[in-house]
Chain A
Amino acid sequence: MRKNGRSDRAALLALACVVVGLILANRYLDDYKIRIINLSGIYVTLGLSMNLINGFTGMFSLGHAGFMAIGAYTVGILTMPVQMKEMNFFLQPIVPFLANVEWGFLPALLAAGLVAAVLGIIIGAPVLRLTDDYLAIATLGFAEIIRVVFTNTQSLTNGALGLKGIPNYTNTWWSWGVAFVTIWFVSFLIRGSYGKAFMAIREDEVAARAMGINLFKHKVMSFAFGSFFAGVAGGLLASLLGTIDPNMFRITLTFNILLIVVLGGLGRITGTVISAVIVTVMMEALRFLDESINLGFVEIKGVPGMRMVIFSIILILMVIVGREGFLKRLKGRETSYAEN
Chain B
Amino acid sequence: MKRKIGLMLLVLVVACSSWVGFAFAQPIKIGVFEPMTGPSAAGGEMTVEGIELALEMKGEVLGREVQIIVVDNKSDKVEAANAVSRLIERDQVVAIIGSYGSSLSMAAGDIVNKAKVPTVGCSPTNPLVTLNNDYYFRVCFIDPFQGTVMANYAVNELGAKTAAVIQDVTQDYSVGLSKYFIDAFRKLTGDPNSIVEVSAYNTGDQDFTAQLTNVKNKQPDVIFAPGNYGESALLIRQARDLGIEVPFLGGDTWEAPEFLSIGGEAVEGAVFSTHFTAEAPVTPESDKFLAAYREKFGKEANAFAALGYDAYMLILDVIEKVGSADSQAIRDGLAQVEGFVGATGIITLDENGDAVKSAVINKVEDGKFVYLTTVEPF
B-binding residues in A (CB < 8 A): 30-33, 35-36, 39, 84, 87-88, 90-91, 148, 151-152, 154, 159-162, 164-165, 168, 237, 240-248, 282-288, 290-291, 302, 304-305, 308, 314, 321
Is the beta-carbon distance between B169 and A32 smaller than 8 angstroms? no
The chain B residue sitting closest to A294, CB to CB, is B22
Any A CB within 8 A of the CB of B179:
yes
Any A CB within 8 A of the CB of B378:
no
14 intermolecular pairs with C-beta atoms under 8 Å apart? A35-B81, A87-B128, A91-B175, A159-B172, A164-B106, A164-B131, A168-B114, A242-B110, A244-B77, A283-B79, A285-B16, A288-B18, A302-B70, A305-B36
What residues of A have a CB within 8 angstroms of the CB of B200 in the complex? 152
Any A CB within 8 A of the CB of B85:
yes
CB distance from A193 to the nearest CB of B (A): 38
Is the beta-carbon distance between B77 and A285 smaller than 8 angstroms? no
- Distance of A248 Cα from B36 Cα, bound (Å): 17
What residues of B have a CB within 8 angstroms of the CB of A244 in the complex? 77
Given contacts A91-B176, A162-B172, 16 further A-B contacts (CB under 8 A): A31-B111, A32-B85, A36-B82, A39-B78, A152-B200, A154-B175, A160-B169, A160-B174, A161-B126, A162-B103, A168-B114, A243-B107, A246-B170, A248-B77, A288-B15, A290-B71
Is the beta-carbon distance between A164 and B128 smaller than 8 angstroms? yes
What residues of A have a CB within 8 angstroms of the CB of B175 in the complex? 91, 154, 159-161
What residues of B have a CB within 8 angstroms of the CB of A32 in the complex? 82, 85-86, 88-90
Interface of A is mostly: helix
A33 touches which one: B15, B89, B103 (CB < 8 A)? B89
Any A CB within 8 A of the CB of B202:
yes
What residues of B have a CB within 8 angstroms of the CB of A159 in the complex? 169, 172, 175
- Distance of A242 Cα from B111 Cα, bound (Å): 9
What residues of A have a CB within 8 angstroms of the CB of B89 in the complex? 30-33
What residues of B have a CB within 8 angstroms of the CB of A88 in the complex? 128
- Distance of A305 Cα from B132 Cα, bound (Å): 33
Is the beta-carbon distance between B169 and A305 smaller than 8 angstroms? no
CB distance from B67 to the nearest CB of A (A): 11
The chain B residue sitting closest to A166, CB to CB, is B110
The chain A residue sitting closest to B105, CB to CB, is A243
What residues of A have a CB within 8 angstroms of the CB of B70 in the complex? 302, 304
What residues of B have a CB within 8 angstroms of the CB of A160 in the complex? 169-172, 174-175
Query: Which residue of B70, B76, B110 has the most chain A CB atoms within 10 A of its CB atom?
Result: B110
What residues of A have a CB within 8 angstroms of the CB of B82 in the complex? 32, 35-36, 39, 284
B77 touches which one: A35, A245, A291, A304 (CB < 8 A)? A245
- Distance of A165 Cα from B131 Cα, bound (Å): 9
A84 touches which one: B107, B110, B132, B176 (CB < 8 A)? B132
A87 touches which one: B16, B37, B132 (CB < 8 A)? B132
- Distance of A255 Cα from B114 Cα, bound (Å): 32
Is the beta-carbon distance between A304 and B37 smaller than 8 angstroms? yes
CB distance from B14 to the nearest CB of A (A): 8
Any A CB within 8 A of the CB of B297:
no
10 smallest beta-carbon distances between A and B, as pairs: A304-B36, A288-B18, A32-B89, A242-B110, A30-B89, A285-B15, A305-B37, A32-B85, A243-B106, A160-B172
The chain A residue sitting closest to B72, CB to CB, is A304
B103 touches which one: A35, A151, A247 (CB < 8 A)? A247
CB distance from B69 to the nearest CB of A (A): 8
What residues of B have a CB within 8 angstroms of the CB of A39 in the complex? 78, 82
Any A CB within 8 A of the CB of B11:
yes
CB distance from A334 to the nearest CB of B (A): 21
What residues of B have a CB within 8 angstroms of the CB of A148 in the complex? 202
The chain B residue sitting closest to A321, CB to CB, is B4
Any A CB within 8 A of the CB of B115:
yes
Is the beta-carbon distance between A241 and B115 smaller than 8 angstroms? no
Is the beta-carbon distance between B106 and A90 smaller than 8 angstroms? no
- Distance of A87 Cα from B128 Cα, bound (Å): 8
What residues of B have a CB within 8 angstroms of the CB of A237 in the complex? 78
- Distance of A38 Cα from B4 Cα, bound (Å): 29
Query: Which residue of A39, A88, A287 has the most chain B CB atoms within 10 A of its CB atom?
Result: A287
B11 touches which one: A84, A151, A246, A314 (CB < 8 A)? A314
Is the beta-carbon distance between A151 and B18 smaller than 8 angstroms? no
Within 8 A of A (CB), among B163-211: 169-172, 174-176, 179, 200, 202
- Distance of A313 Cα from B66 Cα, bound (Å): 35
Query: Which residue of B16, B90, B128, B176 has the most chain A CB atoms within 10 A of its CB atom?
Result: B128
Is the beta-carbon distance between A284 and B126 smaller than 8 angstroms? no
Is the beta-carbon distance between A287 and B77 smaller than 8 angstroms? no
What residues of B have a CB within 8 angstroms of the CB of A285 in the complex? 15-16, 18-19
What residues of B have a CB within 8 angstroms of the CB of A91 in the complex? 175-176, 179
- Distance of A208 Cα from B155 Cα, bound (Å): 71
Is the beta-carbon distance between A151 and B169 smaller than 8 angstroms? yes
Known: A160-B175, A164-B131. A35 touches B109 (CB 8 A): no
Is the beta-carbon distance between A161 and B78 smaller than 8 angstroms? no
Any A CB within 8 A of the CB of B264:
no
Any A CB within 8 A of the CB of B59:
no
Any A CB within 8 A of the CB of B127:
yes
- Distance of A30 Cα from B21 Cα, bound (Å): 15
Contact with A along B119-144 (1 / 0, CB 8 A): 00000001110011000000000000
- Distance of A314 Cα from B12 Cα, bound (Å): 12
